[in-house]
Structure 1
């Protein structure tokens, strides 16, 4: 959080609102969002229909078979990610891996022809909202609660969500 706040506040330089030009300079912010999507894709499992007979790793998949792609597991693959269950945005600062469906190390929006058409809108909105929230507020856990006390258990649904909602205290940051 400190690294993110420092980056955002330095680039915002006291301005009341973050602009698109500011966002282009916020590399750590993008890394935080990528790492979040790697660990917690909004749609962890999605179906795909096989359009032809194929063989994958010795398995025959017939045309017309519904295959379920597990984006959650792909984002935590230990052969692709060191310490795959740890939140480390720094790993993505100098990495070319992206979430647009071209790199298969993380596919929170799907891949190929069926990639989510709202991906660009979602990411632009997330960047702008997160940058402004981090710029305008200091964030803390309620008194007596530590980060290691948070229950990060997820529950199933149409989209993934935390089983226990996050409670955070926002204190306005003087600009």
Structure 2
């Protein structure tokens, strides 16, 4: 009985610690993210986006609010493009850096608010953000994005822009070109 209890505790304590880290990370940035939580992009959506990007020549990619970096790692594995990501949630940032180290991928993750970043150097800008953040992001993209840049928005349309393509994979994925 004693060993069973120890076994259960040794399993539950790390899970409780991970959940606590997630909660603290979320609470620490809730005002800046306007309530948006760290939610991973599904594999189906990532595959659909990669299918669309496959014909692109070498491009410079950024993921705004990259979470654990799964999109960036998928792009590198399939297309060989080492993108960059911005993440302000400390828990998601830690996971992204850890997973990149463990996989040995040359992806750069910055613990910085992407509203403070210069987006003019990127050819492809991916984001999975809530509509109220997209309202703030749209003017920044209009001002900074270089001609020909592609924006990819998972789930929600980008205000003031007309998509050239919309894929229906679970929820819509919107593609825009400057």
Indicate whether the TM-score tops 0.5: no
Q: Which has the higher contact order (CA 8 A, sep 6+)?
A: 1
**Bigger CA radius of gyration:** 1
Higher helix share: 2
TM-score (norm 1): 0.25
